[in-house]
Structure 1
Amino acid sequence: MQKERLSVVVTRRLPEAVETRMTELFDVKLRDDDTPMTTDELVEAMQNADVLVPTINDKIDSSLLARAGERLRLIANFGAGVDHIDVETARQRGILVSNTPGVSAEDTADMTMALLLATTRRIPEGLRVMQSGSWEGWAPTALLGGRIGGRRLGILGMGHVGQAVARRARAFGMQIHYHNRRRLHADTEAGLEATYWESLDQMVARMDVISINCPHTPSTFHLMNARRLKLMKPEAVIVNTSRGEVIDENALTRMLRTGEIAGAGLDVFEHGQDVNPRLRELDNVVLLPHMASATVEGRLEMGEKVLLNIKTFDDGHRPPDQVVPGML
């Protein structure tokens, strides 16, 4: 007798190749309209599916999990971050959670360097001059930026992304410093030529560039708060391709407006799409719409990990990328 196929609900449009393979393997309900599901749609999905495949846009908190059906046994997240999912409550209800770690590290590191260069070399300002037709020709003092070679880069969070950033920054001649929950193995640290700082305050006060590469957890919320931002040198810049909640966005905006911080390159924001309007008005800020991991290759690899997690679960085994509360 043929085994009944798992019922899977996908909350957003995924790459076509991923959707096709998922349809071949499971009983899948795909999302035709590429917009986030409403709360009611999420509840309906969680009440009728064995597996939910959400994205970062889907906030799956304790109140939503309380309305989940008895069938739901796996939340196979499309993405590495799981701060939008109440993993502890899911575990208490017997629902496994998996993610897609390590896939977007190189892509995110590329974008970190792009933002670092765009911010220090004033690339958006140059683009605006050209697009407005107001360029009057080369001038010795026009749009002067700063050389990044020789500058000190302080990486906050030295996981896969942080280490990928470090490798790239070294190639640009930057000096690598980092703060992390745990110090790297001596061989890894030596390979990156990185200096470890146990005190985040001490590191922040001495860096020319701060790169945020840590996840959002209760312990990292507003890790870069107003007090810590004030430790930064006035000529320093900050880049964030991780999670917006790590920085106090209002405090950062105030300091950028008053020149207490020289610039910022931001791909993520504290309140998602609701970006501080004063931040949008500043010339010393480069803003991107959460696109650090947005490569065709990365999205396909994410999809492959989701498929592997679901297939392994369907075969009666623990998903290879299962997330447990102790990991957060």
Structure 2
Amino acid sequence: MMQKAFLCRRFTAAIEAELRERFDLSLNEDDALLPPVEIARRAAGAEVLLVTATEVVDAEVMRALQPGLKAIATLSVGYDHIDMAAAQAMGIQVLHTPDVLSNACAEIAMLLVLNACRRGYEADRMVRSGAWPGWGPTQLLGLGLTGRRLGIFGMGRIGRAIATRARAFGLEIHYHNRTRLAPELEQGATYHDALDGLLAASEIFVVAAPGGPGLAGIIDHERIARIPAGGVLVNISRGDLINDDALIGALKSKHLSAAGLDVFANEPAIDPRYRALDNVFLTPHIGSATHETRNAMGWLLIRGLEALADGKVPENLLSPRRSEDIPHPLQGRA
């Protein structure tokens, strides 16, 4: 008899078809974001709960789904939306999707870097609006990349994939991690043992550290002020790592020349002040949004659930493990 599963958001057609073959699947047909109380109601009786980073799976949801719920599978690398302590206490196994989205996220990071530095939003708007007067020698002057210092906060798999691409643009790589990488992973990048030191060295500063309560608001007024004047900030990590007041103030004052953001606090209800700024390039959380990547993420969850059913320990299992076995956010996992 197939396990009952509930799918909180729509996955790709190919992955949903595979899930139907393996589970007695119910799903959120209209793909609307479900609050915790609605997840608990609609997933009643489920043994497997399939979620994404947009769903909050707290202790109350897990208690409401007891005693049946055995596994939570999240289509994300980050797992700060899941109460891991509650999952461990209730013996609920949690799967996530590391490794397979590094290239897609690194591509978006470079998209943001390029558009922020070369004023992509303003250029596109000028052409579309019919306001372009023709080529001019001082029109839309931006920042070239070659020879500039790129600082990466969080040098896990995604951070290293960003570094690989950035080197091809002639950028000098600096980074901060909780621990220094081995030389073969560092590949000549300059390590900073303190975040403040990295900020001071970064003409372009990229946030690639995964989220978590300990990092919320870490990029605040004081830290943004450490970025050299005229610098650029890019965030592909979690929106709540950035203090919006601090970033918007720095963009308005031109302490930062530009920013590129793929993630925001309180998505999709972003701070409306960003929409009024010409010097910020915005994308709607599309870091892993390729057909190949979303299918690969889905397959990783399917194979992990199959391994659990066979009594094996999948590589993408987060819980139940001892808390000390779960990697620190800056320790090699992005």
Alignment of 1:234-313 (within 5 A): 234-313=229-308
Query: Is 1:312–1:320's contact at 8 Å kept on the other side of the alignment?
Result: no
Rounded Cα–Cα distance in structure 2 between residues aligned with 1:319 and 1:35: 30
User: Is 1:173 matched with 2:203?
Assistant: no
User: Which digits, 9 at most, give the CA deviation of each residue in 1:166-218, with x for residues without a partner?
Assistant: 000001000000000111012221xx220000021112012100000000112
Query: Is 1:9–1:29's contact at 8 Å kept on the other side of the alignment?
Result: yes
Deviation, structure 1 residue 65: 2.3
Deviation, structure 1 residue 67: 2.1
Alignment of 1:57-96 (within 5 A): 57-96=54-93
| Equivalent in 204, 215, 239 of residue 209 of structure 1 | 204
User: Which digits, 9 at most, give the CA deviation of each residue in 1:269-301, with x for residues without a partner?
Assistant: 122212111111011101111011100000100
| Equivalent in 176, 179, 182 of residue 179 of structure 2 | 182
Aligned with 1:242: secondary structure? Answer: coil
Query: Is 1:19–1:30's contact at 8 Å kept on the other side of the alignment?
Result: no
Deviation, structure 1 residue 46: 4.4
Deviation, structure 1 residue 64: 2.4
- Which segment is superposed worse, 276-285 or 314-323? 314-323
Letter paired with 1:267:
D
Query: Is 2:87–2:94's contact at 8 Å kept on the other side of the alignment?
Result: yes
Alignment of 1:128-143 (within 5 A): 128-143=125-140
| Equivalent in 103, 124, 130 of residue 127 of structure 1 | 124
RMSD of the alignment, in Å?
A: 1.3
Query: Is 1:22–1:307's contact at 8 Å kept on the other side of the alignment?
Result: yes
- Which segment is superposed worse, 269-278 or 96-105? 269-278
Letter paired with 1:109:
A
Q: TM-score, normalised by structure 2?
A: 0.94
User: Is 1:55 matched with 2:52?
Assistant: yes
User: Which digits, 9 at most, give the CA deviation of each residue in 1:99-118, with x for residues without a partner?
Assistant: 01111110000110011000
Query: Is 1:110–1:165's contact at 8 Å kept on the other side of the alignment?
Result: yes
User: Which digits, 9 at most, give the CA deviation of each residue in 1:211-232, with x for residues without a partner?
Assistant: 0000011222122111111111
- Which segment is superposed worse, 34-43 or 225-234? 34-43
Count how many residue pairs are aligned between Structure 1 and Structure 2.
323
User: Which digits, 9 at most, give the CA deviation of each residue in 1:118-172, with x for residues without a partner?
Assistant: 0000111011010000111101011111110100000000000000000000010
Letter paired with 1:163:
R
Deviation, structure 1 residue 265: 0.2
Q: TM-score, normalised by structure 1?
A: 0.95
**Counterpart of 1:37?**
34
Letter paired with 2:203:
D
Letter paired with 1:323:
L
Runs of 4+, deviation exceeding 4 Å: none
**Counterpart of 2:147?**
150
Unpaired stretches in structure 2, ≥5 consecutive residues: 329-334
User: Which digits, 9 at most, give the CA deviation of each residue in 1:37-81, with x for residues without a partner?
Assistant: 243331124431110001111101223223222010100111111
Aligned with 2:234: secondary structure? Answer: strand
Unpaired stretches in structure 1, ≥5 consecutive residues: none
